[in-house]
Amino acid sequence: MALDSPTPIAPYDAPVKDLYAVGEMPPLGHVPKQMHAWAIRRERHGEPDKAMQLEVVDTPEIDSNEVLVLVMAAGVNYNGIWAGLGQPISPFDGHGAEYHIAGSDAAGVVWAVGDKVKRWKVGDEVVVHCNQDDGDDEECNGGDPMFSPTQRIWGYETPDGSFAQFTRVQSQQLMPRPRHLTWEESACYTLTLATAYRMLFGHEPHELKPGMNVLVWGASGGLGSFAIQLINAAGGNAIGVISDEDKREFVMDLGAKGVINRKDFKCWGQLPKVNTPEYKAWFAEARKFGKAIWDITGKGNNVDIVFEHPGEATFPVSTLVCKKGGMVVICAGTSGFNCTFDVRYLWMHQKRVQGSHFAHLKQASAANKLMLERRIDPCMSEVFPWAEIPQAHLKMYRNEHKPGNMSVLVQAPTTGLRTFEDALEAGPR
């Protein structure tokens, strides 16, 4: 499928200033001294509406291999909530900066480049993947950059994320923006799509193959919606788990082979002590859940891969229903971090428990190519204006968000815009 061809930004007039209103465009390539940002400070750790406050801060200065991006729109992810809460760790314990700007997804325009940057130029429209590293160790040169001792997540372990007019990134974080998408659609998918891609294709020999059965927790969420699409595209069978019947049709429409409502079962939370009455009751419910899987896959066909991210509430069941020699792959713990399981079913059935953490550039690019070629839908559910960035995170924190991925506007003044010129025309004068 032919990709959309980039076109240069047409010349336009704009005043030179040290600070611009949100949505107001500086002259192409002009870097103002200051910018507007939603900032978190250590003393404000708490829920998003408390932790995130509007501030005027200095525009980041870039190094030789870095790029400054004018942020048109950004994505909402759970690490923005974690950054505000200061849990599981405070971002200040890592980067030590005075304030923290969250946001690990962005679509925007290259605004300035370091003197060693060769692949990108001012005016390029890009999306940003969130993995950073220093690039000078053996894992970054022939290994897996996600194993580098310098690996970090931009917008969580760095102080300069996407909830600001400008963001500073490494040039290797940039990928072409899908021109058929709006700015807000372009901004909502990279973190969850690339994370799902590595979970399913990045852990040899347990790579997703045609015909495999995969159990997907949170199938209607950002990660789950991409997992369903990737499994379907690869010829696998996705079994989606939901918590609300209203989400069943959404998940089936994405290509799931079947859907299970976890509220029909009572086997959630930490594992009861083995060989107690509580364990017996839990095991009976977990077997019922396993039978619901068989009703979709066929009797005796346990899942090859369990796509995990809730953690504490679901992990005991995940390790039980995974097939002999299969894999439980986990990338988060949104329901809690104290994961328990019956180890007998792990060692006797030779199952694998695999941690997975975002993706490196090659994996992120492979996932992004699927979006560029229109093989994957961004599944954008809601868009919030700049002023409601904390409320968007609060909605996610309370699990009140709609199925799919959430986006927020930054420099894009309104929804539905697909070019920089559209945003320029619609923005403040």
- The whole domain housing 228 covers 194-355
Whichever domain contains 335, its CATH number is 3.40.50.720
Residue 294 has pLDDT above 90, yes or no: yes
How far, in Å, CA of 327 to CA of 85, rounded?
31
Contact (Cβ atoms closer than 8 angstroms) between residue 161 and residue 102? yes
**213 is written with which tokens?**
């059965």
Same domain, 300 and 402: no
Q: With cut-offs at 50, 70 and 90, classify the pLDDT of residue 404.
A: confident
Please tell me the distance from the alpha carbon of residue 61 to that of residue 71, in angstroms, as a whole number: 15
Q: Kindly report the pTM of this predicted structure.
A: 0.94
Task: Tell me, yes or no, whether 200 and 270 share the same domain.
Answer: yes
Q: Are residues 99 and 149 in the same domain?
A: yes
Q: Are residues 52 and 79 in the same domain?
A: yes
Q: Binning pLDDT at 50, 70 and 90, where does residue 403 land?
A: confident
Q: What is the CATH number of the domain that holds 139?
A: 3.90.180.10
Q: What share of the chain in percent tops pLDDT 70?
A: 99
Residue range 61-84, pLDDT digits in tens: 999 999 999 999 999 998 999 999
pLDDT at position 3, please?
63
Q: How confident is the model at residue 241 (pLDDT cuts 50, 70, 90)?
A: very high
Whether 24 is in a domain gets the answer no
Give residue 39's region: left, alpha or beta (phi > 0; psi -120 to 50): beta
Q: What is the pLDDT of residues 83-93, one digit of tens each?
A: 999 988 899 99
| Average pLDDT for 25-31 | 97
Residue 204 forms part of a structural domain: yes
Give me the phi and psi of 425, to 5 degrees please. -70, -35
The count of structural domains within the chain is: 2
Q: Given a cut of 90, is residue 387 above it in pLDDT? A: yes
Mean pLDDT throughout 411-426? Answer: 95
Nearest of 100, 29, 68 to residue 173 by alpha carbon: 68
Q: Are residues 327 and 403 in the same domain?
A: no
Q: What angle do CA 392, 393, 396 make, to 5 degrees?
A: 95
b (16+ CB within 10 A) / e for 171-203: bbbbbbbbeebbbbbbbbbbbbbbbbbbbbbbb
251 and 306 assigned to the same domain: yes
* Contact of 393 with 81, CB cutoff 8 Å: yes
Neighbour-count burial of 44, counting CB atoms closer than 10 A to its CB (0-12 exposed, 13-18 middle, 19+ buried): middle
Domain limit, last residue, from 355, 390, 417: 355
**pLDDT tens digits, one per residue of 248-285:** 999 999 999 999 999 999 999 999 999 999 999 999 99
